[in-house]
Amino acid sequence: MGLALLLLIWLITLLSTYFFVAKTWWLPTGAAAAAHWIDNQFALTFVLMGIVFLAAQLSLGYLAWRYREQPSSPPVTYSHGNTKLEVIWTVLTAVLFIGLNLMGAPVWAHERFAPADANAVQVEVTGMQFAWYFRYPGADGKYGKTSFKLMDPSAGGEAAVGLDTADPAAKDDVVTGTMYLPVDREVDLSLRAVDVIHSFFVPAFRFKQDAVPGLNIHMHFKPTTIGEYEIACAELCGLGHYKMHGKVHVVSQEDFDKWLAAREAEKQSNRDPC
């Protein structure tokens, strides 16, 4: 029985370690400026935790076999444990976790607390059950007013985000269902939610942030590779959560300007039918 336990524990341990080493299920290639920092931190965390995991599970298997019941085994006695060992592994664990946190904090804080580049492109992202909308402030660089009283998710587009069309600053705001971003330019993101908490997650950018009703959360990041990437909602937000995804197209500055101008023209022609 002791031997069977040892083999079973070692088998589970080595099999689960294999999937991490072989990277069977892994992150997509990083496509944002902070991706390599986050990947390095991720790898370091996995290696350190992997060593602890292997050492703990392999010893567990060994000890289950080493102290198996035998005809010569003495009667069981109560053991208090070893205070010194407990103190040592608690301190080591604390050093490991606090150390990893301190190492990761600068990148995390930079995206949130440092201001975005002066030439950053402004995009507002609004999450609602179960879609994402993206708003660009237009030529004036100013977002028009929005109001929760005007929000009508069933109408989609501008009405869904509650745009106040009477506000002059709203006249050139463009609201779309697909996100376009210029490559190698920082994105000054404003995150909002209409109904419940959603989470804006772009795995390729290593970017994830909750969108909370009543809050306007500012963050920034910089896409570095032209391509098409998936946006997912990473917060269980209701029955349709599984289909709450979108696309972000990272294109050249020229293509971005063309795309935005076309959306702007589309909006103006819808507004003044003649």
Nearer to Cu ion, 192 or 198 (CB): 198
Give the residue with the Cβ less far from Cu ion, 130 or 256.
130
Could you tell me the smallest distance in angstroms from the CB atom of residue 189 to Cu ion? 16
Is 9 near Cu ion (CB under 5 A)?
no
For Cu ion, give the closer residue by CB, 125 or 181.
125
Closest CA relative to residue 38, chosen from 246, 248, 208: 208
Contact 48, 96 (CB under 8 A): yes
- Which CB, 198 or 267, lies closer to Cu ion? 198
Q: Which is nearer to Cu ion, 13 or 190 (CB)?
A: 190
Q: How far is the CB of 244 from Cu ion (least distance, A)?
A: 4
CA 176 to CA 157: how far, in whole Å?
6
Q: What's the rounded Cα separation, in Å, for the pair 132 and 152? A: 14
Report the alpha-carbon distance of residue 168 to residue 149 in Å, rounded: 18
The least distance separating Cu ion from the CB of residue 92, rounded to whole angstroms, comes to: 39
Least distance from C-beta 206 to Cu ion, angstroms?
19
Nearer to Cu ion, 116 or 233 (CB): 233
Closest to Cu ion by CB, 27 vs 236, is 236
Closest distance to Cu ion from the beta carbon of 194 (Å): 10
In the complex, the smallest distance separating the C-beta of residue 211 from Cu ion, rounded to whole angstroms, is: 8
Least spacing, CB of residue 210 vs Cu ion, in Å: 10
Q: Shortest Cβ distance from residue 241 to Cu ion (Å)? A: 5
Binding-residue pattern over the window 157 to 176 for Cu ion, x denoting contact by CB under 5 A: --------------------
Question: Which one, 229 or 259, has the nearer CB to Cu ion?
Answer: 229
DSSP the chain: -HHHHHHHHHHHHHHHHHHHHTTSS-PPPP-BTTHHHHHHHHHHHHHHHHHHHHHHHHHHHHHHHHT---TTPPPP------HHHHHHHHHHHHHHHHHHHHHHHHHHHHHHHSPPPTTPEEEEEEEETTEEEEEE-TTTT-PPPB-GGG--GGG-HHHHHTB-TTSGGGTT-EEESSEEEETTS-EEEEEEESSS-EEEEEGGGTEEEEE-BT--EEEEE-B-S-EEEEEEE-S--STTGGG-EEEEEEE-HHHHHHHHHHHHHHHHHHHS--
Of 191-250, which residues contact Cu ion (CB under 5 A)? 198, 233, 237, 244
Q: Which residues bind Cu ion (CB under 5 A)?
A: 198, 233, 237, 244
